[in-house]
Structure 1
Amino acid sequence: MNSSYLNFKDKHILVVGDVMLDRYWHGGTSRISPEAPVQVVKVSNIEDRPGGAANVALGLAKLGVAVTLVGVVGNDDNATVLERCLEAEGVACRFVQSLDLPTITKLRVMSRHQQLIRLDFEERTDSLSQNDAVAAMVKDCLPYSNAVIYSDYAKGCLADVQSLIQLSNAEGVPSFVDPKGDDFSIYQGATLVKPNLLEFENIVGKCRSSKELEDKAKALREQFGWKALLVTRGEDGLVLLEDDKPAFSLATAAKEVFDVTGAGDTVVAVLTAVYVTSKRFIDAVEYANQAAGYVVGKLGTASISAEQLEAIMYQRTHTTNFGVLSPEDLLEQIKLAQMNGEKVVFTNGCFDILHPGHVAYMKQAKALGDRLVVAVNTDASVKRLKGDKRPINDLTHRMAVLEGMGSIDWVTWFDEDTPKEIIEALTPSVLVKGGDYTVDNIVGAQHVLEHGGEVKVLTFVDGYSTTSIIEKANL
C-alpha cells in the first residue's frame, strides 16, 4: 500500500445527504418502575454525536480532509447542537433550514453498553423549494470539490438526487453514492454506488452464490452507467465491479464485531478520500475495508484517523516485522502499534538459560497488553553484571530462543548496565519487572509514568533461577 494515498492536503470533499443527531442517554439500571414492568434508567451522562450524512462528513474530517456538508435541519436547538459538534471537528456546514420540520434526532437510552430503546424524531419532506435550495448549495460547492458523496437515508434531502448527480457530472466531479430504497435508477450516472447486500438484493433479488451476485452486479452497473459498484456483505466481505475488469472480492478485515453502527459511513468516507488521491477503486476499497474492520470493534458511531489507518495498512503489509529487531527498527514498530491503539508491554533481562519460570513470567507480561517487547543485555553487559564466566549463551543464541516463545512479539538488545536508555527511547505503554521490587526502584519507571504508562511488578515462579541451574550443572 502506498502511504501517499493518505496525504489529503489540499483535498476537498463535498457531502450531501440526510443529516441527523445521534443522542445517547447513559445511565445505570437498578430497579423496575412501579408504574409499569420496565427498567428505570438513572441518566448520568448525555452524549451527542453527528449521525447519517453528518457522520460521513465527520469521518472525512478525522482523516484530515477538508469537508463541506450540505443537509436539511429544523429551526431548533438540535440543529445548533449538530452544527456545533461538526464545526468543532472542522466540518463546514451549509444547512438548509426548514421551518416545518424538526432536525432528525435518534435518541438511544443506554445502560451497561446495551441499547434499551431508540426514539426517533423525524418527518420526511421533499418540497420543491427544499430541493432547489439543496441544489443551489451543491452547485456553489462543486467547483472547489475533488469528489462528492451523496449519503441517502431516504429522509428527503436527496429526493431529487438525479439532478444533483447531473450537476456533479457537468462539473467533472466524481460522485459516490450510499443508496437507499427500491429504485436505483435515481442514481443513474454516478461514479460509484455502494449498497449493502440487503439493499442490493432488494433490487436484483436473492443471490444464491458468489457467481450469481457478481453477474447481477455487473448487469446493474451497466444498466445505470456506473463506473463501479461496491456491494458490502458484512462478515462475507466486499465485492467490487468496475469497467472491463473481473470482480474483485475482499474478505472482511473485522477481527471482532462490537457495534456495526456507522460502518457504512466509514466505508464510503474512506473509499472516497483514498480514491481522490489514488484514482484506483481497488486501492480505495482495500483501505475502506480495513477502516470498517477497525470501527466495528468500537461502541457506537466511530471514526478513524489517517495515522491509525496508515498504521493498520503498514502492519498488514509488513507482517514480517516481528521477532528480533534493532532498537531503531523496533521504535518504528512500537510507534505504529501505539498509533493503532495497541498497548505495548516491555520487560528486560539477561535470560541466559531459559527455564519454566521465565515462560510463566512472559505469559503474565503479555496478558497485560497487546504486544510484548523483551530487551536483552548484550554479552558485554552481562559480563559486567554477572562476572567473566557469564553469559553461558551468547546474545544471538539467547535472542533466538526468546524469539521462538509464542508470547513474545519483539526481541531487541541493549549494551548499558541498565535498560534506562532503551526504555526512554521506546516509551512502552507498560513496564514490567519480575522479582522483589517496588515501583520506586524500577529503572525507567518514572519515564513511563510521566508519559501516561503503567508500571507492574510480577512475582517469579518459585524454585527456578538461572544461577541455581548453573550451580547444579557445576558450570
Structure 2
Amino acid sequence: MKINMPRFDKAQVLVVGDLMLDRYWHGPTSRISPEAPVPVVKVEQNEDRPGGAANVALNVTALGAGVSLVGLVGKDEAGEALQKQLTSARVNCAFSIAEEEPTITKLRIISRHQQLIRLDFEEAFSAEHSESIQSELEPLLGNVGVLVLSDYGKGTLSDCQGLIEAAKAESVPVLVDPKGSDFSKYRGATLLTPNLSEFEEIVGHCASDEELVSKGQALAKELELDALLVTRSEHGMTLILAEGDEVHFPARAREVFDVTGAGDTVISTLASALAAGEELTNAVALSNIAASIVVGKLGTAAISAPELRRAVSKEQGAERGVVTEEQLLIALADARAAGESIVFTNGCFDILHAGHVGYLEQARAQGDRLVLAINSDASVSRLKGPGRPINPVERRMAVLSGLEAVDWVLYFTEDTPERLLEQVKPDVLVKGGDYGIEGVVGGEFVRSYGGEVRVLSFLDNCSTTAIVEKIQGDSDE
C-alpha cells in the first residue's frame, strides 16, 4: 500500500496517563560478588528518560507534532527531573502533584547492553486525584486533534469515562493504550491498541486470524468502539473495524533489541498522524513502521520524523534508484533533514557511454546526493528526431540507477525539466557540454533562491549521436 508522510507540524495531541521516570545505570561487570552469586556492576553512567505516558508525549513531539501532557507526579526530585526533561523537549506539561505518593520511578541496571535487574519505586495513585486530572484536561481539549489515554494501571486514569465523555463533547477522537482485564472502562473510545496477550485476556484464546477478527468485531460493538488495533509482535498488527473489513500489517522489524516502549511508539505515531489529518489505515501503516524502528533501540526511545521518513522512503522503494516524483520528494526531505546537499542534472542518456559515466561522477562530486532526471521517450523523439531514443525510458533508468554516482533517477515528460526543478529546488544544478552558465535551462530559477549553477564537461570524443551514426554506418557497409 502507498504510505504518506503527514504534516506532523500541523498536529496537536493531548496525552493523559500514568507518568514514569525511567532511570538507567550503566557500567561494566567482570566479577561475581563474594556476598551473593550476583554480578558486581561498576556504575559509570546514569541516564534518565521519560516513561509511560511521558514517553508517549516525547514520541509525539519527536515527530514534530505539538503535545500537551496531563498526569500525576509526586512532590519529589524524580517528578522535578521528569518535568524538566519534558519541558526541554517542548512538551506542555499540565501535572497534578500528589502530596503523599512518589513519582513512579523504574531503575534499570545495564551491563554489556543487557538489563540485569529492574527496581520499581511506586505506589498506585488513589482515585481522589481523578478530579484534578479532569480539571487539567478540559481546558486543553479545544485545541487538539486527538486525545490519547495511556493506561499503565497506576491510578491516573481511574475515571476514564469522564475523560472520554469530555473529549466526545468536543468531537475529539480518543485513542486508548489499555491495561487490565476490564476494558468496559474504555467504553465509547474511538480506538483501543491492546497487544495480543491483553486482547486474549479479554476475549479468550484466538486460534486463527478469522477468530481474532470475529472476536475483535464483537468486542468493538460491545464497547461502542470504532476500531481495535491489535499488536501481534512478530505477526505484525491487525486493524479490526467495528464496521468493515480488517487490515493486516506484517511485522517489519529486522532485529529486535528491546521492546520497551514499543506500544508507546505505536500509539503516539498513530495519534500524531490522525491529528495531522491522515486516514486511519495510513496512520496505522506509519505506526507499524515506527514500531519496527524503535524495537531496534535500547530502552524507551523516541523516533524522529527524519527516521520515520527514511523508513517510509525505504518501504516505498525510494531509498535510492528509480523513483517516482512523489517518492523523490520524500527522499529529498529526509536527505535535507540529515544536512545533505542536493545536486540535480538532466539529459536524454540514450546510449550510456564513458562520457556519461565520467560526467555523472563529476556531478555527484558537487554535493552529497545526485538526482538524475531523464527525458521521456516522446520528449527525446521531439529533441533528437525520428528513430530516437534507441533505448526506452524504463531501460535507460534501469541502467543509470545502477551507477554508484546516481542516487535517484526519474523521468519527465516535458521538453525541459523546469517544472521538476521547481519541486526539487536543488542546491546545485549542473549541466554538461558546451552550455554557458546563462544558457542552462532552469538556472535563473535555481539562482533565485540562492542555489548554484555549474557547467561540467563530457569526456572528449564521446557522443551518443556519434555512436548511433557509427552503428548505422557499419550496418550500411
TM-score w.r.t. the length of structure 1 is 0.70
Residue 447 of structure 1 is matched in structure 2 by none
Q: Post-superposition shift, 1:89?
A: 0.2
1:285 aligns to what SS in structure 2? helix
Residue 467 of structure 2 is matched in structure 1 by none
Residue 286 of structure 1 is matched in structure 2 by 285
Residue 437 of structure 2 is matched in structure 1 by none
Q: Post-superposition shift, 1:38?
A: 1.4
| Greater mean deviation of Cα atoms: 259-268 or 295-304 | 295-304
Q: Post-superposition shift, 1:323?
A: 6.5
CA distance in 1, matches of 2:201, 2:268: 24
Q: Is the 8 A contact 2:3 2:316 kept in 1?
A: no
Residue 60 of structure 1 is matched in structure 2 by 60
Residue 81 of structure 1 is matched in structure 2 by 81
Q: Post-superposition shift, 1:307?
A: 2.5
Cα 1:44/1:222, change in 2 over 3 Å: same
The question of 1:163 aligning with 2:167 is answered no
Kindly report which structure 2 residues correspond to 1:412-451, keeping only aligned pairs within 5 A, or say none: none
Q: Post-superposition shift, 1:320?
A: 8.5
Q: Please tell me the residue identity of whatever aligns with 1:194.
A: T
1:123-176 deviations in Å (ceiling 9; x for gaps): 113332x01111111112112221110000000000111111111111211110
Kindly report which structure 2 residues correspond to 1:9-408, keeping only aligned pairs within 5 A, or say none: 9=10, 11-128=11-128, 130-319=129-318, 321-322=320-321, 336=334
Residue 380 of structure 1 is matched in structure 2 by none
Q: Post-superposition shift, 1:198?
A: 0.4
Residue 450 of structure 2 is matched in structure 1 by none
1:64-98 deviations in Å (ceiling 9; x for gaps): 11111111111110000000110010001111111
CA distance in 1, matches of 2:87, 2:214: 43
Q: Is the 8 A contact 1:308 1:340 kept in 2?
A: no
CA distance in 2, matches of 1:47, 1:320: 34
CA distance in 1, matches of 2:408, 2:8: 32
Q: Please tell me the residue identity of whatever aligns with 1:199.
A: E
CA distance in 1, matches of 2:339, 2:189: 36
1:80 aligns to what SS in structure 2? helix
CA distance in 1, matches of 2:260, 2:268: 14
Q: Please tell me the residue identity of whatever aligns with 2:32.
A: I
Q: Is the 8 A contact 2:50 2:86 kept in 1?
A: yes
Q: Post-superposition shift, 1:120?
A: 0.3
Q: Is the 8 A contact 1:402 1:408 kept in 2?
A: no
CA distance in 1, matches of 2:408, 2:69: 48
CA distance in 1, matches of 2:47, 2:240: 39
Q: Post-superposition shift, 1:277?
A: 2.2
CA distance in 2, matches of 1:187, 1:332: 37
Number of residues paired by the alignment?
367
Cα 1:122/1:409, change in 2 over 3 Å: farther
CA distance in 2, matches of 1:94, 1:399: 54
| Greater mean deviation of Cα atoms: 27-36 or 52-61 | 27-36
Q: Is the 8 A contact 1:331 1:425 kept in 2?
A: no
CA distance in 2, matches of 1:207, 1:142: 37
Q: Please tell me the residue identity of whatever aligns with 2:21.
A: L
Cα 1:286/1:32, change in 2 over 3 Å: same
Residue 363 of structure 1 is matched in structure 2 by none
Q: Is the 8 A contact 1:189 1:226 kept in 2?
A: yes
1:318 aligns to what SS in structure 2? coil
Q: Please tell me the residue identity of whatever aligns with 1:17.
A: G
Q: Is the 8 A contact 2:174 2:190 kept in 1?
A: yes
Cα 1:310/1:410, change in 2 over 3 Å: closer
CA distance in 1, matches of 2:251, 2:63: 21
CA distance in 1, matches of 2:136, 2:333: 42
CA distance in 2, matches of 1:315, 1:156: 41
Q: Post-superposition shift, 1:332?
A: 8.2
Cα 1:340/1:239, change in 2 over 3 Å: farther
Q: Post-superposition shift, 1:304?
A: 1.6
Q: Is the 8 A contact 2:256 2:296 kept in 1?
A: yes
Q: Post-superposition shift, 1:220?
A: 0.4
CA distance in 2, matches of 1:65, 1:200: 29
Q: Is the 8 A contact 2:186 2:223 kept in 1?
A: yes
Q: Identity of aligned pairs, percent?
A: 47
CA distance in 2, matches of 1:148, 1:107: 29
Q: Is the 8 A contact 1:254 1:294 kept in 2?
A: yes
Q: Post-superposition shift, 1:311?
A: 2.5
Q: Is the 8 A contact 1:152 1:178 kept in 2?
A: yes
CA distance in 2, matches of 1:180, 1:187: 10
CA distance in 1, matches of 2:40, 2:401: 53
Residue 5 of structure 1 is matched in structure 2 by 6
Q: Please tell me the residue identity of whatever aligns with 2:71.
A: G
1:182 aligns to what SS in structure 2? coil
CA distance in 2, matches of 1:208, 1:3: 34
Unaligned runs of 5+ in 2: 341-351, 355-367, 373-392, 410-426, 430-477
TM-score w.r.t. the length of structure 2 is 0.70
Q: Please tell me the residue identity of whatever aligns with 1:33.
A: S
After superposition, the CA RMSD in angstroms is 3.5
Q: Is the 8 A contact 1:26 1:110 kept in 2?
A: yes
2:46 aligns to what SS in structure 1? strand
| Greater mean deviation of Cα atoms: 229-238 or 141-150 | 141-150
CA distance in 2, matches of 1:27, 1:161: 41
CA distance in 2, matches of 1:324, 1:217: 39
Cα 1:399/1:141, change in 2 over 3 Å: closer
Q: Post-superposition shift, 1:245?
A: 1.3
